[in-house]
Amino acid sequence: MGARELDPTFTALPHRRLGDAALARAAELGASHADFRFERVRYQELVARDGTLQGASDVEDLGFAVRVVHGGAWGFASGVVLTADEAVRVAESAVAVAKVAAEMTSTPVELAPEPTYDDVTWVSAYEVDPFLVPTAEKSALLVGWTDRLRTGAAVDHASAHLLQVHECKYYADLAGTRTTQQRIRLHPGFEAMGAGADTFDSMASIAPPVGRGWEYLTGGEHGWDWDAELEEVPELLAEKLKAPSVEAGTYDLVIHPSNLWLTIHESIGHATELDRALGYEANYAGTSFATIDKLGSLQYGSPVMNVTGDRTVEHGLATIGYDDEGVATQSWDIVTDGRFTGYQLDRSMGHLHPELNGGRSNGCAYADSPGHIPIQRMANVSLQPAPDGPSTDELIGRVERGLYIVGDKSWSIDMQRFNFQFTGQRFYAIRDGELVGQVRDAAYQATTTEFWGSMEAVGGPDTWVLGGAFNCGKAQPGQVAAVSHGCPTSLFRGVRILNTLSEAGS
């Protein structure tokens, strides 16, 4: 199978026949809208520790779902038996659910308009399907990583992991849209652990998860420099174990993309999901301080802050051609020159708020399995670099007393996405524009608008990295989605730094 071809073992499945049967029955029963989604998602995970493969799993989720609008209410049902009779039964169940829900629906469901896309296909950008690589080869790579890490004097234990996802999806609706899509994503990594005289700690890879294939693991033009990182991590851990504890206070911060992506995710990505701002997620995931009355007026950050939502960027974890409501994906502004200018939304919210995105969804509907209903999920939300912006070294050179932060670790943020604190893999002290070694036990604390308002400069395109996560959770029943966040190295002035050791003991 070529890298850009649909998997023939998926296209041979009876998704079209089942979709036709389900949609025809939904129409007969009076549905004003119906969509059919057929998915096969394969997950393979390998974990190694201290020179031994500890576990390997390979699972597949295969099934289909029918979603309808009937009587002004949503109805949803799913199945796993791949017959036309079962597709008809599932459609009937979805309509029955809608009839019950109609009694409790105060605002009738209507969808924002979207052009019809007849029989289109989309395949993500990758060179080598990792599921075609022998498991023994992948195991040997991870085991070899842990062996190399353990040669470091400070390393007592080492682990490595690789999660791979191969997602195939067919979508059809009563309007005539039919899409068939395929994407691959990888989350590799490793961690070295050690103990010092009075502490223990770890140092992990800062390689981001990506929408790429096996080529990401083998280096070269499309890969990560694993050899260089495996060489330096034991030394970085040794330095960290001997580093002094940070003195709490106010510091200027230069933050590397490997740390800043997570702050973007929590304080911008979630805060600008329209369902949260409208209170739809209040029972579980919380609400948002960025309420709809603030759109266009809230100063989210400094004038150098420009943030986009994007479901089209190459190799993004949330990148797709068409979302789970048949909407062609897009890129749009969320923060413009520091001002709050856009939300992430789906088709029902697009209809309710025609002032947003021209009354159209921006392609943010997604379900993580055929057993779950699509919900509004996060796009690749990214902070843009300055076209002629400074390098990381130049940003560090502007700081007299501060910290340079590399890599993500723990975090905490309130349910309105406003008050937060974040730690990191490595904190380097900056004195008079120079790095003078690592410090430990640090966390930065702020409110969202205070923090982004303190951003004085963003780096140039050469400092921009597309980071992200595989495990963004949302909804009830819970769903997990992968999402990327690009950003440049950035400079912040006067940010509060906590000593986490002191805070834990107080």
pLDDT tens for each residue of 464-489: 999 999 999 999 999 999 999 999 99
Neighbouring C-beta atoms of residue 101, cutoff 10 Å? 17
- CA angle centred on 378, ends 87 and 169, rounded to 5°: 30
Q: Provide the CA 250 distance to its chain's centre, in angstroms.
A: 31
Share of the chain above pLDDT 90, in %: 95
**What does residue 371 show for φ and ψ, rounded to 5 degrees?**
-90, 0
Helix count and strand count (H, E) for the chain: 11, 24
Strands 411-413 and 307-310: unpaired
Range in 1-5, 298-302, 480-484 with the lowest mean pLDDT: 1-5
Q: Got the DSSP string for 110-131?
A: ---------SEEEE---SS-GG
Q: Quick one: pLDDT at residue 1? A: 37
Q: What is the mean pLDDT of residues 289-297?
A: 98
Q: What span, in angstroms and rounded, lies between the C-alpha atoms of 500 and 498? A: 6
Which pTM does this prediction carry?
0.97
pLDDT tens for each residue of 381-412: 999 999 999 999 999 999 999 999 999 999 99
Does residue 285 carry a pLDDT above 90?
Answer: no
Three-state SS at 145: helix
Q: Which two tokens stand for residue 170?
A: 């067919």
| Residue 196: band (very low, low, confident or very high) from pLDDT cuts 50, 70, 90 | confident
Does residue 2 carry a pLDDT above 60?
Answer: no
The more confident residue out of 238 and 220 is 238
Strands 401-406 and 249-255: parallel
Q: What span, in angstroms and rounded, lies between the C-alpha atoms of 477 and 372? A: 8
Q: Quick one: pLDDT at residue 506? A: 59
Share of the chain above pLDDT 70, in %: 99
Domains of the chain: 8-242 (3.30.2290.10), 249-505 (no CATH)
Q: What is the mean pLDDT of the chain?
A: 96
* C-alpha radius of gyration, the chain, whole number: 24
pLDDT tens for each residue of 418-427: 999 999 999 9
Place of tokens 């169940």: 93
| Residue 368: band (very low, low, confident or very high) from pLDDT cuts 50, 70, 90 | very high
pLDDT tens for each residue of 56-104: 999 999 999 999 999 999 999 999 999 999 999 999 999 999 999 999 9
Q: What is the mean pLDDT of residues 263-277?
A: 98
